[in-house]
Amino acid sequence: MSAKPHPEIPPPALRLSVDRAALAANWRALDAMSDRAATASAVKADAYGVGIHNAMPALLEAGCRDFYVAHWCEVVGALDHCDAASLAVLHGPVNAADCAYARATGVRPVLNSLQQVRIWLESGGGPCDLMVDTGMNRLGLRPEELGDPLVARLEVDVLMSHLACADEDSAANDHQRSAFAAILGTVPHHRASLANSAGIALGEAYRFDLTRPGLALYGGVPRHEMHGKLSQVVTPEAAILQVRHVPAGETVGYGGTYRATRDTAVGIVALGYADGYLRCWSDLGMLRSEGRKLPVIGRVSMDMTAIDLSAAPDLAEGDWVSVEYDLPSAAQKSGLSQYELLTVLGPRIRS
Ligand SMILES: *Cc1c(COP(=O)(O)O)cnc(C)c1O
């Protein structure tokens, strides 16, 4: 049987523009803000939707040597770029298969419970990170569990905790910081780590030996102290599939939520909610062409979005337009979090 060869696939009609130089500059800015602490990178969830193959080379070139993913299935993609000693898995080992995989790859598990400590030691132990819960009640051993004799048998590289409210001015931050400082003497470890992106801006007392930013690397601005120090990294871009001339009085899109008040040139763009440009942008979002504003009109469809081309009458089918996606302002406008705006971007747009 002769398999028919696949013809070459034509170029896509949508793409995520990733500014690797901005990503590297954001890491350097966070590393400078981290002062004497080293700066790791959270690259879980395909580097927050940016693409691990885009993010890790830029981060390594900038100087980053510590990386965190969440799932064991994310290890393979990360190991294409860094060695196993630079990588740890935040969810830790849930069963013997996870432990065996950690041992086979040499990647450190982050141990999050006494049960995880137990199965890690049963599998033979070795270098690991240890998460202590200082008030978030998500993952991590409670401080009172640290006296368990099993904990004393661990080879802890990074002893860590995670802040629940670092992007707010909350008394919880200082409570967590002092709870963390209080346990450092009780567990032998190489490095201590508390701060995520926002935590870096809370001050020197929060930085310890290693900071762990994610969001801010990718252009998110979690606290006002970081305004002006971080640059946008991702911009969704899409081609115009069709230009239509909508007469005054007619409506555009599902539900007819937009009605033209005058004869209007409308571009149908190859980007929709299946790509992560969610329906919340209906009659709200803004696209641009060379600085000219092209408002979204009507409802965002699964694969398409309509825009008003009045400001750019020269645009034609096949021309590319970009989505306004400055994360702090897009979050404010849409009601989505800056984290969601990044991670919601769908597989078709990931380059
Ligand atoms: C995701 C994550 C980070 C990064 O947090 P950001 O808020 O994106 O900077 C750091 N530490 C842990 C444990 C995480 O799960």
Condensed to tens digits (0 to 9), the pLDDT of residues 3-30 reads 788 999 999 999 999 999 999 999 999 9
Inside any domain, residue 340? no
Q: Does 139 score more than 70 pLDDT?
A: yes
Residue nearest to atom 15 of ligand 1 (CA): 90
Residues 216 and 101 placed together within one structural domain of the fold: yes
Q: Is 286 annotated as a binding residue?
A: no
Known catalytic membership, residue 254: yes
Q: pLDDT, tens digit, for every residue of 287-306?
A: 999 999 999 999 999 999 99
Residues 274 and 300 placed together within one structural domain of the fold: yes
The residue whose CB lies within 8 Å of the most ligand 1 atoms, and thus the one to mutate among 68, 108, 211, 226, is 68
Distance CA 115, CA 267 (A): 56
Q: pLDDT, tens digit, for every residue of 325-340?
A: 999 999 999 999 999 9
Query: What does the pLDDT average to over 125-154?
Result: 98
Residues 112 and 250 placed together within one structural domain of the fold: no
Taking alpha carbons only, the member of 45, 48, 145, 161 closest to residue 110 is 161
Q: Is 33 annotated as a binding residue?
A: no
Query: What does the pLDDT average to over 237-261?
Result: 98
Residues 195 and 54 placed together within one structural domain of the fold: yes
Inside any domain, residue 153? yes
Q: What CATH number is given to the structural domain containing 297? A: 2.40.37.10
Q: Which protein residues touch ligand 1 with a CB less than 6 Å away?
A: 42, 44, 90, 162, 196-197, 212-215
Inside any domain, residue 13? no
Inside any domain, residue 219? yes
Q: Does 1 score more than 60 pLDDT?
A: no
Residues 192 and 301 placed together within one structural domain of the fold: no
Residue nearest to atom 4 of ligand 1 (CA): 214
The catalytically annotated residue of 44, 48, 206, 218 is 44
Known catalytic membership, residue 48: no
Query: What does the pLDDT average to over 57-74?
Result: 98
Residues 109 and 221 placed together within one structural domain of the fold: yes
Q: Which atom of ligand 1 is nearest to the CA of 48?
A: 8
321 CB-near residues (< 8 Å, 6+ apart): 237, 238, 239, 240, 267, 269, 287, 288, 289, 294, 307, 315
Residues 38 and 187 placed together within one structural domain of the fold: yes
For the chain, give the mean pLDDT.
97
What total number of domains does the chain contain? 2
Residues 208 and 284 placed together within one structural domain of the fold: no
Spell out the long-range contacts of 297-300 with Cβ–Cβ below 8 A and sequence spacing 24 or more. 297/252, 297/253, 297/258, 297/264, 297/266, 298/251, 298/252, 298/253, 298/254, 298/255, 298/256, 298/257, 298/258, 299/253, 299/254, 299/255, 299/257, 300/272, 300/273
Residues 155 and 32 placed together within one structural domain of the fold: yes
Q: pLDDT, tens digit, for every residue of 76-135?
A: 999 999 999 999 999 999 999 999 999 999 999 999 999 999 999 999 999 999 999 999
Residues 121 and 69 placed together within one structural domain of the fold: yes
Ligand 1 centroid to Cα of residue 213, in Å, is 6
The catalytically annotated residue of 4, 68, 218, 254 is 254
Q: What CATH number is given to the structural domain containing 96? A: 3.20.20.10
Q: pLDDT, tens digit, for every residue of 211-240?
A: 999 999 999 999 999 999 999 999 999 999
Identify the domain boundary among 226, 261, 295: 226
The confidence band for 136, taking pLDDT boundaries of 50, 70 and 90, is very high
Map residue 307 onto helix, strand or coil.
strand
Query: What does the pLDDT average to over 160-165?
Result: 98
Residue 2 pLDDT: 62
Residues 208 and 243 placed together within one structural domain of the fold: no
Q: Does 74 score more than 60 pLDDT?
A: yes
Query: What does the pLDDT average to over 250-265?
Result: 98
Distance CA 207, CA 225 (A): 15
Residue 5 pLDDT: 86
Identify the domain boundary among 172, 194, 226: 226
CB-side exposure of 214: number of CA atoms within 13 Å? Answer: 23
Is there a contact between 116 and 94 (Cβ–Cβ < 8 Å)? yes
Ligand 1 centroid to Cα of residue 197, in Å, is 7
Identify the domain boundary among 226, 258, 291: 226
| 230, 234, 239, 240 alpha-carbon torsion, rounded to 10° | -50
Q: What percent of the chain has pLDDT over 90?
A: 98
Domain range for 94: 19-226
Separation in Å, CA 73 to CA 77, 91, 102, 184: 8, 11, 11, 31
Q: Does 201 score more than 60 pLDDT?
A: yes
Residue 329 pLDDT: 98
Inside any domain, residue 141? yes
Residues 200 and 89 placed together within one structural domain of the fold: yes
